[in-house]
Structure 1
Amino acid sequence: MDEEVKVSIEGIPYQVSISARDHRWLADEPTDINGGDTGPNPGELLLSSLGSCTAITLTMYAARKKWPVEKIDIDLRFDSAAKPDPATTVIECLVRISGNLDEAQRKRLMEIAHACPVHKLLTNPVIINTKED
């Protein structure tokens, strides 16, 4: 993964401008913590990365296999009640695949869901080198 994302904040409390390649979007915090709610919050962006990567990976795999996947819906959320300890994050990911698939195909697609690049990134050690420029 050699992607690069640029983030900046200026003027509007908690509203962050994000860019990657030729795309631009916002992140913000909800109004109950003094944000403007003009975009998803950082946690929602992280969940959206996992969900979109999973959906794309499943779609690519099914297309390669010529399996009749019609639609994929994924609901994601952080589950603080399921945390085994304070240092662990639990993400619940509910995948619904529509299409005329047999049980073996569905089982294989669920295995593939765990193989998407963002899932691998989040389930392996990550080192973040933060420094001032």
Structure 2
Amino acid sequence: MNISLQRINNAVHFEGTGDSANVKVHIDGSPSIGGEGLGVRPMELVLMALGSCSALDLVNILKKQRQQIDDVKIDVEGQRREAIPNIFTDIHISFRLIGDIDQTKAEKAAELAVKKYCSVHDMLAAGGVNITYSIEIH
């Protein structure tokens, strides 16, 4: 797996691309280091990686169980320590599902998606990050 980063401006705005698709991701730093709000920050990307990794597996598991998923929304909130580097200490993933979905199946699918299949979870948890999740069905 490889990614490329190309600086876009004279500040800290980068454009990232990966092997898997010709899609561009814009990354920018905080204003304190010259960021101009032109992309997501690297630590936001970490939360996006955790949320999307878990979500892909959750949806896949529920589809295999023939659950009707009409919509999915995931919010991921991370708490960082004060000391530099400001790593995450706690992260909470909130899954909101809309559809004809069995609560018990959804809870089991979320547990498998987050704790068994998501490699991003395992990397963060191995570093001491406390990761929790909740699931709501509407």
Classify the TM-score, shorter chain.
0.7 to 0.9
Q: Whose RCO is larger (CA < 8 A, sep 6+)?
A: 2
The match for 1:124 is 126
> What is the alpha-carbon distance in structure 2 between the residues aligned to residue 35 and residue 88 of structure 1?
21
Q: Deviations over 1:48-93 (max 9, x none)?
A: 1111111111111111111122222111121248xxxx87621121
Q: 1:90 to 1:18 in 2, by over 3 A?
A: same
TM-score (normalizing by structure 1): 0.74
Asked if 1 retains the 8 angstrom alpha-carbon contact of 2:67 and 2:102, the reply is no
**Structure 1 residue 8 displacement after superposition:** 3.5
> What is the alpha-carbon distance in structure 1 between the residues aligned to residue 91 and residue 12 of structure 2?
24
TM-score (normalizing by structure 2): 0.72
Q: Deviations over 1:11-50 (max 9, x none)?
A: 5211122111222222002446531111101011111111
Residue 18 (structure 1) aligned to one of 7, 13, 16? 16
> What is the alpha-carbon distance in structure 2 between the residues aligned to residue 41 and residue 90 of structure 1?
18
* Structure number having the greater strand percentage: 2
Asked if 1 retains the 8 angstrom alpha-carbon contact of 2:15 and 2:27, the reply is yes
Q: 1:93 to 1:65 in 2, by over 3 A?
A: same
Q: Gapped runs of 5+ residues in structure 1?
A: 126-133
The match for 1:56 is 56
The two structures, once aligned, show a CA RMSD in angstroms of 2.6
Whichever residue aligns with residue 7 of structure 2, its letter is I
Percent identity of equivalent pairs: 23
Any idea what SS the aligned residue of 2:52 has? helix
Asked if 1 retains the 8 angstrom alpha-carbon contact of 2:80 and 2:87, the reply is no
Asked if 1 retains the 8 angstrom alpha-carbon contact of 2:78 and 2:88, the reply is no
The match for 1:45 is 45
